[in-house]
Structure 1
Amino acid sequence: MNSNIRKVETALYLLPVTLGDTPLENVLPAYNKEIICGIKHFIVEDLRSARRFLKKVDSTIDIDSLTFYPLNKHTSPEDIAGYLKPLINGASMGVISEAGCPAVADPGADVVAIAQREKLKVVPLVGPSSIILSVMASGFNGQSFAFHGYLPIEAGERIKKLKTLEQRAYSEDQTQLFIETPYRNHKMLEDILLNCRPQTRLCIAANITCEGEYIQTRTVKAWKGNIPELAKIPCIFLLYK
């Protein structure tokens, strides 16, 4: 481990992760490495991906000397509350999502809420957010937008939700964002093209910041017959009038 690592200010650091197999220097400031190398306690969404990320940040990091606290949909509120004891006792902690920015469409928000309630210092670090990057590149309204996560799996409910979001894009002048499990991307796109208005604009943003990045905006009518290959690719869909 580098002996020149400076002591970081005691805080809960929100540590962005690459969105795929992207070189760190392309998307993360060098300052992030300095912070990460000064932390011994990490609250993580996925242990294996967090370990891989930390080794990618600095191959000399002694993973076995670190303490990891799992934070996912199965973690109890009682466990989450106890995770912040090191921070309360004066040790900095880091929150690591499986990809992108922690606490944004991510269970990390639960532990951040507790830290704020306890008046503990929270520091978000700079890094890639697929939500923000896709809005930037879409050409849609960046003043007002809403991210809805996953839409319903059941076909009837999903179509109903799509039509509601499309209506909001028109009535509220608001960009609507949502995602799908990669293997169901084509089914989602099929539902959009069958049920949304021909003039409604759809942006498909896939593999953001990664090799093969694909971000295109067209009308629903123009997308028909020009569907890209989206199977197994992380993707965000954006609707706008």
Structure 2
Amino acid sequence: MDESRYPESIPRAAEGCLYVVAVPLGNPDDITRRALRVLTEVDCVAAEDTRTAARLLARHGLRKPLVSYHDWNEEARARQLLGRLERGEQIALVSEAGTPGISDPGFDLVRLARQSGHRVVPVPGPSAVAAFLSASGLPTHAFSFHGFPPKRAARRRAFFRELRDRTETLVFYESPHRILAALDDALAEFGDREAALAREMTKPHEEFLWGTISGIRGDLERRDRVRGEVCWGVRGRDPRRPPEISEAEAAEAAARVEALGLPPRRAARELARLTGMSTDEAYRYLSERRGRG
């Protein structure tokens, strides 16, 4: 490959430039040669976790001034870093792992740099979303990424409810201490769909689980604890089927139909009209409710 066709990593003009540098998810050998070259030449590194960044730089024999840039100081620090760009400095932005700005700090600084006319250069590399999808076994011809679901249960249920009729693969992040609750709410809103979950990707204890939401949840529940950051996803709704409704909504519609006192087949047709079920599905659903009563 003729590398002379590619521009040098750092512009020689006296203009500020922000490099958005992807760093390894876990395995330090996943860093790209171009990322190392940029990290060698910039004036400073803005890092989500300066300790993690220092270890990565040291492993590759680099020493650079580090500036903390994380969720708690993002807005104020972005303006400080913009001032350094105005003075013509070259800055590398790195997150704790993967690509900055993807559910990690970075948006404020990138937006300010763009608005001020500075160059913003991506230095691509590891991404947890791409790594997960590539090995998940879920359909990848269309997908959407939704970051971390809300922490509170009611908001999380509403969050999943808004997504349940999407037909593409849905991908999320989650912390290990909330993953069981998130899977519970996903199961309630999506039904027991095909799903996959990865934790500790590229690290010594990397693990992928594949199956259904309930199966993955059962596997995790049997453990003493879940360790490591999690990326997980579910298959989208089959476009050949009518939009899905939650168990609570189905029960509410069934109660309304039962209150009408209709014969079983007419009741099933009415429930099918309200919910999108087939008439046979509605009939079985009403029969099961009568059996439980």
Q: Give the letter for the 1:205 counterpart.
A: A
Deviations 1:53-87 (A, max 9, x none): 221232xx345xx2x33322332645422312333
Q: What TM-score does the superposition give when structure 2 sets the normalisation length?
A: 0.67
Query: Is the counterpart of residue 232 in structure 1 residue 227 in structure 2?
Result: yes
CA distance in 2, matches of 1:75, 1:43: 12
Question: 1:149 matched to which residue of 2?
Answer: 147
Runs of 5+ unmatched residues, structure 1: 1-5
Question: 1:196 matched to which residue of 2?
Answer: 190
> Identity over aligned residues, as a percent?
25
The answer as to whether partners of 1:184 and 1:231 remain within 8 angstroms in 2 is no
CA distance in 1, matches of 2:9, 2:140: 38
CA distance in 1, matches of 2:110, 2:218: 45
Which of 225-234 and 109-118 deviates more?
A: 225-234
User: Per-residue deviation at 1:163?
Assistant: 3.3
Please show how residues 100-115 of structure 1 align to structure 2 within 5 Å. Answer: 100-115=98-113
User: Per-residue deviation at 1:113?
Assistant: 1.0
CA distance in 2, matches of 1:47, 1:149: 23
Which of 115-124 and 132-141 deviates more?
A: 132-141
Query: Is the counterpart of residue 85 in structure 1 residue 83 in structure 2?
Result: yes
Question: 2:19 matched to which residue of 1?
Answer: 13
Q: Give the letter for the 2:162 counterpart.
A: T
CA distance in 2, matches of 1:155, 1:86: 42
Query: Is the counterpart of residue 41 in structure 1 residue 44 in structure 2?
Result: yes
Q: Which has the higher relative contact order, 1 or 2, with Cα contacts under 8 A spaced 6 or more apart?
A: 1
Structure of higher CA gyration radius? 2
CA distance in 1, matches of 2:80, 2:69: 12
- Residue 216 of structure 1 aligns to a residue whose secondary structure is strand
Please show how residues 1-241 of structure 1 align to structure 2 within 5 Å. Answer: 8-9=10-11, 11-20=17-26, 22=27, 24-25=28-29, 27-58=30-61, 61-63=62-64, 66=65, 68-75=66-73, 77-168=75-166, 173-193=167-187, 196-198=190-192, 200-220=193-213, 222-223=215-216, 225-227=218-220, 229=223, 231-241=226-236
- Relative to structure 1, is the Cα distance of residues 214 and 12 closer, same or farther in structure 2, using a 3 angstrom cutoff? same
Q: Which has the higher helix share?
A: 2
CA distance in 2, matches of 1:92, 1:221: 49
CA distance in 2, matches of 1:226, 1:237: 14
CA distance in 1, matches of 2:130, 2:18: 22
User: How many corresponding residue pairs?
Assistant: 223
- Residue 111 of structure 1 aligns to a residue whose secondary structure is helix
Q: What TM-score does the superposition give when structure 1 sets the normalisation length?
A: 0.80
- Relative to structure 1, is the Cα distance of residues 76 and 131 closer, same or farther in structure 2, using a 3 angstrom cutoff? closer
CA distance in 2, matches of 1:142, 1:225: 25
CA distance in 1, matches of 2:180, 2:214: 16
Runs of 5+ unmatched residues, structure 2: 1-7, 237-293
CA distance in 2, matches of 1:239, 1:7: 39
- Residue 179 of structure 1 aligns to a residue whose secondary structure is strand
Q: Give the letter for the 2:190 counterpart.
A: C
- Relative to structure 1, is the Cα distance of residues 89 and 157 closer, same or farther in structure 2, using a 3 angstrom cutoff? closer
CA distance in 1, matches of 2:9, 2:232: 41
Taking only aligned residues, the RMSD between alpha carbons, in angstroms, comes to 2.5
The answer as to whether partners of 1:41 and 1:92 remain within 8 angstroms in 2 is yes
Which of 128-137 and 71-80 deviates more?
A: 71-80
- Residue 167 of structure 1 aligns to a residue whose secondary structure is coil
User: Per-residue deviation at 1:225?
Assistant: 4.4
- Relative to structure 1, is the Cα distance of residues 182 and 86 closer, same or farther in structure 2, using a 3 angstrom cutoff? same
